[in-house]
Amino acid sequence: MRGKRFALATIVTGICVFAGALTAGCSGGQQGASPSSATSVPSSPSETKATNASPTATSDATHAPAGKIPKTYDPKNFGRTVTDINEWVPLVPGLQSVSEGTVYVGDRLLPHIRVTTVTDVTKEIDGVRAVLVLDQDFDGGQLSEQSIDFLAEDDGGNVWYMGSYTEAYEGGQFLNAEDAWLADVNGAVPGLWMPGAPEAGTPAFYQVQIPGGEQSSAQVVDVGRKTCVPFKCYTDVVVIEEAGSENKYWASGVGQILTEPLSGAAQEVEELVNLRQLNSKALAELSKEALKLDRGAALRVATVFGGSEPAERL
């Protein structure tokens, strides 16, 4: 989302973390296709090499039984702890996916790497506990964006988009803060990120609703599809069309595996090339970065984040 992209970014036989400098660390993951621009993203000598075993991610989250909760946001439908019910959007701390593709920057087509990590950091928004998902984007081997997306799941497995904050960079230096919003602040309301029980052909839903700003809708266009990406072939894939401009493919137990433009040459193409479960050290580093972004949001966009509860690790 973020008006432009969902967000991700960084890999080479191990995962690289941006936190002032690039460091690394991971374990128990799977090795997929190596990004063509990998040499521009340095690896840490201490990183653990990926294996061919499936990730064994576990969660301390409370798995509430999915009831007949409508796709309508209501704080009463959320438990007091973080849940992990929706199989297409697993909110397992340390689960990290890496996608590779291309993106236009001006009139140049650049290689693009995007990494998304589910952190163990949460933030209370509108009375609901949301998980911070850290995203890092690299275009042409250089960090271009970092963001945190705030996701919360109700007892019916519906995943809600509770806010977002993005920092843009140029030449490795902070450029500006953008796409800053929180539910119940300045009229913004939660958007539906993924239904708990997606069905093709059901009515479109809002993913983002910011008064005077972004209004983005989406619709489930297919379910149960088989889709192959460089990393692996998946079944039971859900396809969601966003804003009539692109399709995003979500695999059970994995998350987003493919972004496919419907029109326009300047849009991104992304395919999953790696999936892994981070070790505790790497997760701690990424969670620290997420906390740093949350603190930065309170300072740089005080009109949105200034009055919010600070994020905290579980």
Taking only the tens place, the pLDDT of each residue in 57-97 is 444 444 444 456 778 899 999 988 888 899 999 999 999 99
Q: What percent of the chain has pLDDT over 90?
A: 59
pLDDT band at 45 (very low <50, low <70, confident <90, very high): very low
Mean pLDDT to the nearest integer, 198-226: 90
How large is the average pLDDT for residues 278-301? 97
* Range of weakest confidence among 30-44, 51-65, 72-86, 215-229: 30-44
Query: At residue 264, does pLDDT exceed 60?
Result: no
CA distances from 101 to 258, 273, 303 (A): 10, 10, 35
Q: Which is more confident, 254 or 69?
A: 254
pLDDT for res 55: 52
**Residue 216: is its pLDDT beyond 70?**
yes
Q: pTM for the full model? A: 0.81
54 contacts 274 by C-beta, under 8 angstroms: no
Other CB atoms closer than 10 Å to residue 187's CB: what's the count? Answer: 11
Q: Structure tokens of 157?
A: 């497995």
> In degrees to the nearest 10, what's the CA dihedral of 59, 123, 147, 223?
50
- Span 37-45, average pLDDT: 28
Give tens-digit pLDDT for 140-151.
788 899 999 999
pLDDT average, residue stretch 21-30? 43
pLDDT at 258: 96
In whole angstroms, give the CA distance from residue 265 to residue 19.
Answer: 33
pLDDT at residue 37 tops 70: no
Residue type at 72? T
Phi and psi, residue 304, nearest 5°: -110, -50
Q: Greatest CA span in the chain, whole angstroms?
A: 50
**Is 290 a residue whose pLDDT tops 80?**
yes
